[in-house]
Copies of this chain bind each other. A is one copy, B any other.
Amino acid sequence: MPTVTIKDVARESGVNISTVSRALSGAYGVHGKTRERVLAAAAKLKYRPNRVARAMVTGRSHTLALIISDIRNPFFAELARGAEDAARAGGCDLVLCNSDLDAEKQMDYVQSLLEKRVDGIMMNSVAELSAAQQSQLASCGVPIVLLNRGGSARAFSTVTVDNRAGGQLAAQYLIQLGHRRVAHLTGPRRHGNMTDRALGFVSAMKAARPAGQVTVIHGQNSFSGGYEMARRLFRDNPRVTAVFTANDAMAFGALRAAMEAGRSVPGDVSLIGFDNVELATVVHPPLTTIHQPKYEIGQAAVSMLLRHVRAEGRPVPERLVLGVELIERQSCRRLKE
């Protein structure tokens, strides 16, 4: 309780505080004997270095931040776990921020994190950032890696999956099963990753022979968002034979809506999701979906970030794009002609 500092250790071991500092940091330039004495004293006193003091002088806080929309989305939970494991392995703590896809909240977080001198920030930035925001972020002094493509300016490092290819995969699968009148349930407009998914899906669908018709609906990218959109869809647009949701959470919501509307999946309508969260195997029917490597995204993001942190100076933006794949389960069926 009576906080013991490096001074106490110095007194106890009869050396100067700078010697203690060196001995403790395992640096060279300290006699074996002295070092042992210091270590013993530190142990005896139960000395615990004060990392905020250290951070102040070194300028490195050994803290990383992860700004996501909502940790309750299993996709982000998995990603966060990958990030936390990697951060810990790299000697850093991870502070978690939920932005709810709210641009203002997101910038507030960044501001606050900068004041706290975090060493780096990972974020799935809301929509495309305004030019002002972009430059503000780019020149904020700490490395940032985006979890989505970084808008027009190539100023940011990013780690993403190939969202566009994912959308195409979903479309091609549905096309091949004979679906042409389909819907795509997605998140808010200008949500980076989801926009790409939609792009890939719609373009592939249009390119089919005969061409498909796709209704795109925007809403909340959550369970309840999916539920709401699907409810409206089934009511207003009952002739749709398949729906592709921009994530699994929305697919679960759609599943729920289908159940309540008395529409069988895949009997009456086929459903395909995106993410491949663990629970996709246990819903009924098991959900066909596009798999993305969630844990690995988090991991890769921190290792890229850590590399930038250690590199000093303004880092050269890097971009890593990971692959996706179609996981076929039982929520889609072939359309009889």
Which partner residue on chain B sits nearest A281 by CB separation?
A: B256
Q: How many residues of A contact B (CB 8 A)?
A: 52
Q: Mark A8-50, 1 if CB is under 8 A from B, else 0.
A: 0000000000000000000000000000000000000000111
Residue contact A98 to B81, C-beta cutoff 8 Å: yes
Judged by a CB distance under 8 angstroms, whether A243 is at the interface is: no
Complex formed: what's the CA distance from A53 to B57 in Å?
Answer: 9
Q: Mark A214-253, 1 if CB is under 8 A from B, else 0.
A: 0000000001000000000000000000000000000011
Q: Name A71's contact: one of B48, B56, B81 (CB within 8 Å).
A: B81
Complex formed: what's the CA distance from A81 to B81 in Å?
Answer: 15
Residue contact B74 to A72, C-beta cutoff 8 Å: yes
Which residues of A approach B to under 8 Å, CB–CB? 1, 3, 48-53, 55-56, 61-63, 70-72, 74, 77-78, 80-81, 84-85, 88, 93-98, 111-117, 139, 141, 223, 252-253, 255-256, 259, 278-279, 281-285
Q: Mind listing 20 A-B residue pairs with CB under 8 Å?
A: A1-B139, A1-B141, A48-B111, A49-B115, A50-B117, A52-B117, A63-B116, A71-B77, A71-B84, A72-B77, A72-B278, A85-B98, A88-B97, A93-B113, A95-B96, A253-B282, A256-B281, A279-B279, A279-B283, A283-B283
